[in-house]
């Protein structure tokens, strides 16, 4: 167990999250990276975890670690969010009867290449993960949280959802959907007991992203400026209940503000496209 100031800080967070929001939190896309970092925050805050992903064994290992370190319970739900009917059935039945107080939609799906070179089947798979399953999960848990007037949501978007994302267009469009839907819902429940936030990420050192970083000097520069999943989680939870929509990291915030203030939309779109233009 931690000692001194760290223990005090952990104790404070522990009272806050569980007492404020409820016993259980669900993270959709919990296996590694940002989802895992969010689970750690919930566990530090004393909340039990519903961990959703496809790699059941790995989720179980991580859940066991949280149980040992923080004394929280955990449930693993193996679900593929590209199949919304089956995924929703698995998640809704696993959480029925639990005192749910938190949800976060973290999972995403990319496919690099020009729009028309990506098969319609792959586009629909991305829409299923990035839009349909997200919508159904968010709607389901918002109904629960609104009825009890208690709960919290942190959904994860991307700077590509602000700029758009040439050569990864479907992904950027899905992230824009998550961003705009969550921002509006956050405002709708401002004066209630439900806190909703959307967290827009720039490059973050997650295992998936590290496989997809652009090659060459542009990629090296991106990696140098990237945040860790823990840094993202710290900022996201610190701002929960205070802001509707955050861009994680000072550099990312400045970059978006600079592009919006000093460049045209087309320049921003071209800039984002420049990272992946060779991926077709």
Which positions touch ligand NAP (CB under 6 A)? Answer: 29, 31-35, 53-55, 79-82, 106-109, 129, 156, 158, 175, 201, 203-204, 206, 208-209
Q: Between 48 and 203, whose beta carbon lies closer to ligand NAP? A: 203
Q: How far is the CB of 7 from ligand NAP (least distance, A)?
A: 29
Q: How far is the CB of 168 from ligand NAP (least distance, A)?
A: 11
199: helix, coil or strand?
A: strand
Spatial separation of the C-alpha atoms in residues 156 and 67, rounded to whole Å: 25
Q: Between 15 and 212, whose beta carbon lies closer to ligand NAP? A: 212
For 24: left if phi > 0, alpha if psi spans -120 to 50, otherwise beta; the answer is: beta
Spatial separation of the C-alpha atoms in residues 75 and 60, rounded to whole Å: 8
Q: How far is the CB of 105 from ligand NAP (least distance, A)?
A: 7
Quote the distance between the C-alpha of residue 213 and its chain's center.
19
Name the residue whose CB lies closest to ligand NAP: 29
Q: Between 182 and 206, whose beta carbon lies closer to ligand NAP? A: 206
Nearest-5° Cα angle at 34, 211 to 247: 100
Which one of the listed residues 21, 70, 74, 171 is annotated catalytic? 171
Q: How far is the CB of 131 from ligand NAP (least distance, A)?
A: 12
Q: Is 171 a catalytic residue?
A: yes
**Nearest CA among 180, 187, 178, 195 for reference residue 237:** 195
Quote the distance between the C-alpha of residue 5 and its chain's center.
29
Which residues are the active-site residues?
171
């Amino acid at each position: 167990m931690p000692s001194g100031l760290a223990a005090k800080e952990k104790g404070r967070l522990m009272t806050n999250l569980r007492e404020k929001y409820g016993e259980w939190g669900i993270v959709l896309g919990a296996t590694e990276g940002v989802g895992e970092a969010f689970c750690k925050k919930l566990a530090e805050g004393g909340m039990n975890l519903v961990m959703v992903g496809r790699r059941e064994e790995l989720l179980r290992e991580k859940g066991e670690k949280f149980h040992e370190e923080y004394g929280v319970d955990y449930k693993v739900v193996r679900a593929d969010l590209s199949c919304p009917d089956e995924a929703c059935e698995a998640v809704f039945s696993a959480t029925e009867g639990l005192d749910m107080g938190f949800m976060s939609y973290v999972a995403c799906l990319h496919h690099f290449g020009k729009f028309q070179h990506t098969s319609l089947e792959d586009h629909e798979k991305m829409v299923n993960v990035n839009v349909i399953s997200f919508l159904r999960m968010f709607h389901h848990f918002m109904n629960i949280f609104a009825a009890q007037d208690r709960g919290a949501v942190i959904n994860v978007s991307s700077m590509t959802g602000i700029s758009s994302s040439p050569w990864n267009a479907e992904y950027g469009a899905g992230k824009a959907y998550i961003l705009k839907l969550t921002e509006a819902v956050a405002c709708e429940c401002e004066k209630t007991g439900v806190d909703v936030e959307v967290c827009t990420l720039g490059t973050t050192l997650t295992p998936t992203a590290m496989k997809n970083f652009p090659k060459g000097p542009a990629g090296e520069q991106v990696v140098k400026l990237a945040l860790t999943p823990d840094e993202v989680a710290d900022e996201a939870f610190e701002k929960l209940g205070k802001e509707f929509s955050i861009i994680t990291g000072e550099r990312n915030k400045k970059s978006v503000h600079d592009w919006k203030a000093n460049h045209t939309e087309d320049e921003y779109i071209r800039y984002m496209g420049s990272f992946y233009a060779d991926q077709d």
